[in-house]
Structure formats: structure tokens, C-alpha cells
A and B are shown apart, each in its own frame.
Chain A
Amino acid sequence: MQKFKVTFLPDNLSVAVEKDKTILAAAISAGVYINSNCAGDGICGRCKVIVNQGQVHSQPNGIITAQEKKNNVYLACLTTIHSDLEVLIPDSSRINFDKLTPEELEERLSGLYSKAEDIQSVKAKFQDKVFKHSPFATKLYLELPQPTLNDSISDLERLYRALRSFGEFPVVATGLFNIRQLGELLRDYAWKVTVTLGRRNDAVEIVLIEPNDTTARNFGLCFDIGTTTISGQLINLNSKKILGTKATYNQQAAFGSDVITRIVYAAKTDGLEKLHNAVSDTMNQIIKDLVSEHKVSLFDVNCIVCSGNTTMIHLFLSMDPAHIRREPYVPTANFLPVLRAAEAGININPRGLLSCVPGVSSYVGGDTTAGVLSSGIYQKEEPCILIDIGTNGEIVLGNRDFLVACAASAGPAFEGSGVTSGMRASSGAIQKVSINKNDFSVKYSTIQNKLPRGICGSGYIDLLSEMLESGIIDKGGKIKAAGKRIRSTDNGVEFVVCFKEEIQAQADIVINEADIENLKRSKGAIYSATAILVKHLALEFSAISKIFIAGGFGTYLDIEKAINIGLLPDLERSKFVFIGNSSLAGSREILLSSQAMAMADALASKITYFELSVDPGYMEEYSQALFFPHTDLTKFPTVKF
């Protein structure tokens, strides 16, 4: 087979690929990341590249304009390679894998920006936790008595006997690796060793035997594997202190922006392997950065706890996710035994343990279980709601007596995908907007105060609310006003948020009627799923005592505006509590306490999964929610515009 050399600029990375491969496939082989929300189906139009040199064939599509064609712009996914190529990837098509800045992280993981000052801080919420400190991995220092003719039990028995003096450990496994080196180790180091004990569900394993006293160096990791963002924390298991937190984008984004596209991609040749590598590479990079920054040896990191939605966990562990997508939507596993981290390609101590927070169903995963755990709604007397807003929104309703969860496929609009000027909540994303009611001029603030590059979810919420209040759009989401910022295009009427001249960009930042329709469906899905759940349990919204809002997106949420557009129910503002990344917080608790781990298991079994698609009332509820704020205005008495 003939091979061609493809060079990607500006990275200046080359790869040899077979004729007829797409540019997108070549980019993936070269390790260059091009935006591809639709995973190469030629729909999203995010993978535009410029072919500087060489011959290509491109399938016709409605995305590339005549002007772009003249400038040699092609869709990477629909364009095949027919000679050596030089391809330029413009900024707009690159995935920005920059790490989140400390400020962004602060906001994303714990803080919030909101007018509602009275919302209690996340930290205070987590301080009254009740779980006993008993980390996933514990180190014990032992000084064994030397064997004599009178005390001649074997080395291993001797070790067990010493361990028993600490308590009745049902040690089930020690590992041949440990036993093989045991005799020499004990004698070389004067019978002074440190044993790392790990919990494997109900039993205990000797993970590692090391010379001398290393009990001071006992570290663990917790991770939230999100569809969009992966966050990890390094924890000192002795002091419970968080040493460091890092987050970065999930490199799987190159294979599609939502779980369904990724499941489809996993079925392709080597698809599952590529997806698995993308997530483990991302995690290993975070781990590497964390340990080197905090001067911890990888060898002293003994365990890791991960939470993520069911699909993410499947891909992380290279389990086939195909049946998650097909009726009757059955995952390979919800409860996973404790594994060795190395089996999942995670680089910590080679014998280190890995636990995944158990999930409830195909669409309610361990991230939700961890969220329930860390929000504490399972302890509350009054019914509470946990809303995790993401591409696949999860909603849990319950209290100490019952927990019911459902998943609402809200679509990626609030994560900045599938909308004209959408982007993820990263540097340069418009996150706050206000519009002057007289001349429709727009004031905005961006993440890190950079020049705006696009609009992220919280920016869209603000924008919609402001457009409604200033009368630019009607309650149906149609643009009704006129002005210099409003114009008709081939894609319908649009409102210009930033003109390209003022932001030094190639294109204006706009929102059009199709975008508004998309956002309306997203918010409608979240609201109606919440409403159905409440209705299904014969409750009223007024009976709900707290609404916990979680998710990377949720941390930027302006509650007032989210209610204005009908994303959240119109309740007293003091009922809303932002809890940031509840999934990461939950996995940290599990890392630090066997009680929390047992609780997570119990919760995952206890949570009842409610399938929305079989509820006869859902479509009705959903169509009612396709209006700003809602077709039944009496449900939003405080919203006035």
C-alpha cells in the first residue's frame, strides 16, 4: 500500500499514512488533536483545516462555504489523502488542552460566582462529614522478632502474626511478588519492614512490603473522569490533606463530544483502545504533574479511586460499552471489584489498587453515586434534589429513606458544543453577559479576562436571560427586535454578541435562532426530567428543601438567570446550594474512608433508576418546558419579563 507523508502545522508533526485515509485519521495517528464533536461524521463542521500543499479528495458537504473552498479549507473528516500533504490546523479547529489555571480550578472545584451570596460555601458543607478515617491503603510499621529454634514459624506466618497484634485482619492475598522477596528483605533489614494493607472489598490484601519505616509516605489519588473534564487530586492518606488538584480536558474529545458518539467510535477498529489510551494518558499526565510538583514518589502512591459516568468507566477499563446504547441499555458492570491500577494502565505503585465508584445504571453512573455521597442528600430528613448538569444530566431526588435517579440527555449545548459560537468553559470564554435594554449593547466578562473566543454554558444562560429581559427574543426563542446587532443570514436571524473587529478575531461571536432552539431543548430536558421525578413521587417542588447543583458547568451558574430561562425551578433562592464537583468530592471521601466506600456501595444499590423514556407524561412535560421560562407561567411566579 502506498503511503504518504502528512505534515501538520503549526506543530510541525509528520506521519506516514495510507492513501485514502482521512486527514482526521492522520491527525489522530500523529497525536495532533483536531476538534471533532461528531467523531468524523461530517456533521459538526468543527474540524476545518487548510491544505497548504498536496492533493486531496473531499466529499461534498454543506459546511464549507464557497469562499472557504477557494482558500483550500477542508473538513478533516471528509477529506482523503492522495499525495504528500502539508496541512495547517487553524486555531478554531484545535482542541485546547491547556491545563486549567489555578483560578479556574478554584472556581471549578469549589467556588462559585453568583449573585446569591447567601449560598453556603462548599467547604463548610464538607466539614461536618462523619466518616471515620480509614483510607483505602494503610501502612503499618512492623518490627518482627527474629526466628529461633523455639519460634520457627515461616517468615510469612511471622508477618501475619505481627499483623494480628494490630487487630483481626482477614488477609486474603499477599501476592507471589511479595512472598518471593520476603525472606531476603526481612533479613537484610533486621526484620524491620513497612506493610501496606489495601482493602479489597471486604477483605484485606498485603499490597506491598518495604524495608524500614515508610509509614509517613502514604499517598492516594482520587479522580473524576468527566466526559469533558478530568480532575484529579493527590491526597496524603495519613493526614487527609489534599496536596494538590489538577484538571485538564479529556483527550477523548477528539473522538466525539458526547458519550453516544464515543460508544459508536469504540465499535470501530481499535476504537476502544484509542479511547482507553486517551483517558489513561490524560490521567497519567495529571498524576505525573501532581507527584512531581509535590515531590512525592510514584512508588508511595498506593491507591486511586475514580468516579465517572458509566460510559467513561467502561472506556477507562477497556470494557465494551456497546450495550449501554442499545435497548434495554445494560452496561457490562455497575459494581467493579477492586483492581490493580496497572491493569487499567495507570502509573502509580505497580501493585497499587484501583477502585471505581459503583454506578446505578447505564445512564446514572458512579459520578452520581459519589455526588449523592458528598452532597449528603441521603442523610436529609426532607426531600432534596441533586442536579448534575452536563451533556448527560443526572437528577437524584430523595432523602434518608429513598433515592430515585434519572438521566436526561440534555445535549452538549450548555457545554458549548453544537452551537455556533459555543466553546467549553476555558480561557477566553464569555461567562457573564449583560445587555443594555435601549441600544442592545453587550457587556461581558470572559474567563481569565482574555479576549473572547466564544461563549460557554454559563455565558449562554446569561445571554438568553438578558435577551429575554431586553426584549430581543420572545418567550418562544425567536428574535423579535431589530437593530445593528440583529441580522438575517442563511442560517436564520442572529444576534451579534461581539463584532470581530472589537475582539480581533476571524468571525463575529453570534447566537442565532437555531442555537436558541438547541439551548431551549437542553434546558427543557433538565427541567422536565426534574419535574417528572418530583411528580412521579407525588411531591411538589415546594416540598423540596434543598437543591444541590453539581458539575463543572454548575460552578459558574448564575442561579437567578438559570431560573429566568426555566432551567431551574422557581424556588426560594436560599434552597439552592452549589457543590461544584461533587463527583470528585465523593471519590475523595471514599479514598479516605472504608465507611464511605461501603456507603457508596449501599447507595448505588439503594438508588432506584427511573427510566424517563417509558414515562407517558415525559413528552408532555418536555414540550411544556420548550418555552421561556415555561408554557405554564404560573410555575415561575418570580420571573418577570
Chain B
Amino acid sequence: METQLVLEKWQGVISTVIIGAKKEEGGSRSDTVKIGGQITMPLLFKEGATPNKPRIAFEISDIAPFDFDEELIATYGKAVNDPFAWADICVNEYKAGLLCLKMQGTHPDFGNKSPESAAKFISALLSKVKVPLIIIGSGDDAKDNLIMPACSEAARGERCLIGCAVQDNYKTLVASVLADGHSIIAESPIDINIAKQLNILISDMGLSLERIVINPTIGALGYGLEYAYSIMERARLAALSGDKTLASPFICFVAQEAWKTKEAKASSQQGIIWETLTATSLIQSGADLLVMRHPKAGQNVSNYIEALFKG
């Protein structure tokens, strides 16, 4: 006798977020990236549609990064000093469909670039690189509130994903994103309640829930991954049960956590494995967008996604 599968039917749907705008949409990207849209828990293809695969964004920085491991520096070589060359390698050599740019050089301690020069840099990058862009501030709240509006304006119409809004500092970023037609990353400290509250606060300002991507904050494998995993799982269960305020796709900053670990620092191979395993685990818990650094880890995860989705 054939076994009958018990299938769960959900009433909620994860919102679809589009990153990048092509010419006809008012931007200048060669392609757009869609994430989200699931009506099922991750990878349960029989229970409901998962219209968009998880996507990988390659992380780059406007200045030579200070938190990149030797292995990573060696991999990209001199290009880490030249963001344009770096972006070019990611896109052309490693086939990145999406770049995640960190505006590290605007931080008061790491260059303190002005809003004008940051804006100029964004414009230049957008004209040189044609993939959709994620732009992240330096993490200094006060400075980000000066820099990010300038970056947002410089990228107007390109439908970037801009972050990170946090509970204590979200208003400036939301206002810019709203004005310039982008989407936003809402960051919460591995806390489902704060994730939900922040989404409500952002949507209260008029930015629709369909333009929010949640950064749930993650830990690398062995460094708290399971906390992030269960928070993501709980948020997804709530969203699929009909809670619209949690129905946002997830972005996970995989590489910055994986390469921080002792294991990753022990050997170059181990670092790649750690980045790969952290990313693949998070895909199981519903990650939609993975920010990665090492091309080999990127390739591994990409292969993994293809294999999963082949059915």
C-alpha cells in the first residue's frame, strides 16, 4: 500500500522582494533578483510553491576590508584595494548575480568619508557594474544617518536593498529608502519580537511590508547557529500562519560570521567549509539571501542550491 503524505496547508505567503531595476523599470541593471514568495516551510516542495531559489550576494567593501581573513585577501589579491576591480572579479569571474557593498570607508574610524564622496562612489560603481546592489552602512549610527541618505539618493531608481535599519535607528533610513524607491533590511538581534516590532515600525512610516527583508542576525556553525535557526523557523511558521508582519524574506550575513571563527582561521580549507556549512544550514531554516565572501564557498552553496531545486 502506498504511503500517504500528510501535507500542511498554510494560509500565509512570504512577500516577494525584487532587487534591482532594469531600464524599462527606471533603473540601469542588466537583471533583477527576486527572493521570497514561498507558501511553504523551506524545501518542502510537495507542500507548496517555492518560486524563488535562495540567492548568493558577494560581499565587497568600498575600502580594503580590515576583517577579511588572509585566505580571503589572497583569493582576491590586489583587487581588495580597488572596489571597482573587486566588483568586476565577482561579477565576471565568479558570476555573482548580486553584490553586497559595505560602506566601511565612511566609518569615523576607518576613513570617515563624506556623504558627497560616498554618493559619488555609488554612482561610479552603478555605472561600472550592472548587477543589482545591496548597500550596507558602516555600522556607526550617527554617521550612517548622514551617509545612507546620500547613497540612497545616488542610487535612486535602481531598487537597491539598503541596510541595516535597527530598532533604535531606523527612521532616517526608512525615509530615504521610501523616497528613492529602494527596499530595506531590518536587523534584529536574534529576537523574533524585535524583528516583528521593527517591521511594524517601518511599515508605520509608510514603507510597505513587501519592501522589507529581515536580517535576523546569525551565528556561524558552532557559534550560535541554532539560535538563529530556530528564530528563523519560528518567524517563518508565524508568517505562514498568516502573520504579515513577519512575512519577509531573510538575508543572512554568513561570511562575516563564519570567517570570525577559530576554525576558519585555522586553515584556509576549513574557512571555506565553515562558510559553506553555515550557509547550507541556514538555507534549511529559510534563508533567502546569503551574503558570502569566498568564491569556492559561493560555488559550493550554489551547487547545493541547484541540486536541491532539481527536485
Q: Interface residues, chain A, CB within 8 Å of chain B?
A: 474-476, 478, 480, 620, 623-624, 626-627, 631-634
A474 to chain B: which residues have CB within 8 Å?
Answer: 201, 204
Q: Which of these, B191, B197, B243, contacts A476 with CB under 8 Å?
A: B197
The distance in angstroms between the C-alpha atoms of A480 and B171, with both chains bound, is: 8
Range for the number of chain B residues in contact with chain A: 10 to 19
Q: Please give the distance in Å from A353's CB to the nearest CB on chain B.
A: 52
> Taking the complex as formed, is B193 at the interface, i.e. its CB lies under 8 A from any CB of chain A?
yes
Shortest CB distance B210–A (Å): 18
A633 touches B245 (CB 8 A): yes
**Contact call B245/A623, Cβ cutoff below 8 A:** no
19 more A-B residue pairs beyond the given contacts A476-B167, A624-B193, with a C-beta to C-beta distance below 8 A? A474-B201, A475-B197, A475-B200, A475-B201, A475-B204, A476-B197, A476-B201, A478-B168, A480-B171, A623-B193, A626-B193, A627-B193, A627-B200, A631-B193, A631-B200, A632-B196, A632-B243, A633-B245, A634-B243
A480–B245 CA distance with the chains assembled, in angstroms? 21
Which residues of B have CB within 8 Å of A624? 193
- Using CB atoms and an 8 Å cutoff, list the residues of chain B in contact with chain A: 167-168, 171, 191, 193, 196-197, 200-201, 204, 243, 245
List 5 A-B pairs, minimum CB-CB distance, nearest first.
Answer: A623-B193, A631-B193, A627-B197, A631-B196, A474-B201
- Provide the residues of chain A in CB contact with B196, threshold 8 Å: 631-632
**Complex Cα spacing A623 to B191, Å:** 10
Q: How far is the CB of A477 from chain B (nearest CB, A)?
A: 10
Chain A residues with CB under 8 A of B171: 480
Complex Cα distance, B305 from A273, in Å, reads: 74
Of all chain B residues, the one with the shortest Cβ separation from A478 is B168
Residues on the B chain within 8 Å of A626, using CB: 193
Q: Which residue of B lies closest to A624 (CB)?
A: B193
How many angstroms between the C-alpha atoms of A474 and B200 in the bound complex? Answer: 10
**Distance in Å: Cβ of A442 to nearest Cβ of chain B:** 23
Chain B residues contacting A632 (CB-CB under 8 Å) are 196, 243
Known: A623-B191, A623-B193, A624-B193. A633 touches B168 (CB 8 A): no
Question: A633 and B191: CB pair below 8 A?
Answer: no
Residues of chain A within 8 A (CB-CB) of B191 are: 623
Task: Please name the residue on chain B nearest to A471 by beta carbon.
Answer: B204
Q: Which residue of A lies closest to B198 (CB)?
A: A476
A626 to chain B, nearest CB (A): 8
Q: List residues of chain B with CB within 8 A of the CB of A623.
A: 191, 193
**CB-defined contacts of A631 to chain B, threshold 8 Å:** 193, 196-197, 200
Residue contact A633 to B200, C-beta cutoff 8 Å: yes
Chain B: minimal CB distance from A502 (Å): 30
Chain B residues with Cβ below 8 Å from A627 are: 193, 197, 200
A634 to B204, CA, bound (A): 15
Q: Complex Cα distance A624/B196, Å?
A: 9
Smallest CB separation, B8 vs chain A (Å): 21
Query: In whole angstroms, what is the CA distance A468 to B249 when docked?
Result: 29
In the complex, which residues of chain B have a beta carbon less than 8 angstroms from the beta carbon of A480?
171
In angstroms, how far is the closest chain A Cβ from the Cβ of B205? 8
Q: How far is the CB of A516 from chain B (nearest CB, A)?
A: 13
Select from chain B the residue with minimum beta-carbon distance to A641.
B204
A/B interface sample: 7 pairs, CB < 8 A: A475-B201, A475-B204, A476-B167, A480-B171, A627-B200, A631-B193, A631-B200
Least CB distance from B214 to A in Å reads: 14
Across-interface contacts of B200 in A (CB, < 8 A): 475, 627, 631, 633
Q: Which residues on the A side are within 8 Å of B204 (C-beta)? A: 474-475
Q: For the complex, what is the distance from the CA of A626 to the CA of B200, rounded to whole Å?
A: 13
Which residues of chain B come closer than 8 Å to A478, judged between CB atoms?
168
Closest chain B CB from A641 CB (angstroms): 9
CB distance from B177 to the nearest CB of A (A): 16
Return chain A residues, CB-CB under 8 Å to B201: 474-476
Cα(A474)–Cα(B167), bound, Å: 11
Q: Could you say which residues of chain B place their CB within 8 Å of the CB of A620?
A: 193
Q: How far is the CA of A631 from the CA of B199 in the complex (A)?
A: 10
Instruction: Give the distance in Å from the alpha carbon of A626 to the alpha carbon of B171 in the complex.
Output: 19
Residue of A nearest to B196 (CB): A631
The chain A residue sitting closest to B245, CB to CB, is: A633
The residue in chain B whose Cβ has the minimal distance to the Cβ of A620 is: B193
- Greatest chain B CB density within 10 A among A620, A624, A631 is at A631
Q: Report the bound CA distance from A195 to B168 in whole Å.
A: 71
Shortest CB distance A630–B (Å)? 10
Given the complex of chains A and B, what is the CA–CA distance between A475 and B167 in angstroms?
11
Complex Cα distance, B193 from A467, in Å, reads 23
- Complex Cα gap A453–B31 (Å): 63
B237 CB to closest chain A CB (Å) equals 14
Nearest B residue to A634 by beta-carbon distance? B243
